[in-house]
Amino acid sequence: MNISEYYQPDFYHFCENTIKLADEASKLLSSMKDFPDVRVLDLCSGCGVVGMEILARLSRPVRVDFLELQVEFNQYFKRNLSMFPKEYVSNMKLINGNFTDKNLLAEMKGRYDLVVSNPPFYLSDKARLGTNEKKNICRFFIRGLPPQFWEFCFMALKDDGNCLVLTKDDVDLCPPSNNFSWNVLDRYGDHLLVLASVLDKNGC
């Protein structure tokens, strides 16, 4: 499916880098020995493009949960969902919530083999906010900060889990070295595609 065929709100559109993220995630999932019995979280999922594109690239469906703060995306997620076969739809679940929610984190702890995310790219003190609040939430860390985002990823993953994240080339946005070993898979201008692997969770 072409990215232009997805239903998206006027205030925010995904870019082509989203497709590259989905490509890398599908390759990683296909190489896992437990495929297709793996579980994926699309964090900051918006209208579901990343997770859905991952499923579209796999030979068999895997379980994908979508976590999105803004309920304004829900109607677009449901319309996009309707374009997939039933056997795929039954493996997709939308959850409205935020990575700052401790109760949600406790519920999801250790559940996922892979977290994928196209989160906000900017800290609010490093760039000027726009006039559209919904768009600002998509672009800026104003409903939570990078350390909280990475903590959620770390705790939601299984002991041998991985994250694939599109982020900006900014040291304040990078994965914490005490929780992850990570490397840059690709670079798109000042944006990075980062693979972060969980380190030892003993004591967490």
pLDDT tens, N- to C-terminus, the chain (204 residues): 666 689 999 998 888 888 899 999 999 998 887 776 899 999 999 999 999 999 999 888 899 999 999 999 999 999 999 999 888 899 999 999 999 999 999 999 999 999 999 999 999 888 889 999 999 999 999 999 999 999 999 999 999 999 999 999 888 999 999 999 999 999 988 889 999 999 976 655
Q: Which pLDDT does position 3 carry in this prediction?
A: 61
DSSP secondary structure code for residue 4 in this structure: G
The rounded Cα 203 to chain-centroid distance in angstroms is 26
Whole-angstrom distance, CA of residue 182 vs CA of residue 89:
32
What fold, for 39-198? Answer: Rossmann fold (3.40.50)
**Checking phi first, is residue 99 left (phi over 0); if not, alpha (psi -120 to 50) or beta?**
alpha
Of the CA atoms within 13 Å of residue 142, those in its CB half-sphere come to: 16
Whole-angstrom distance, CA of residue 75 vs CA of residue 45:
13
DSSP secondary structure code for residue 6 in this structure: S
The domain limits of the chain are 39-198
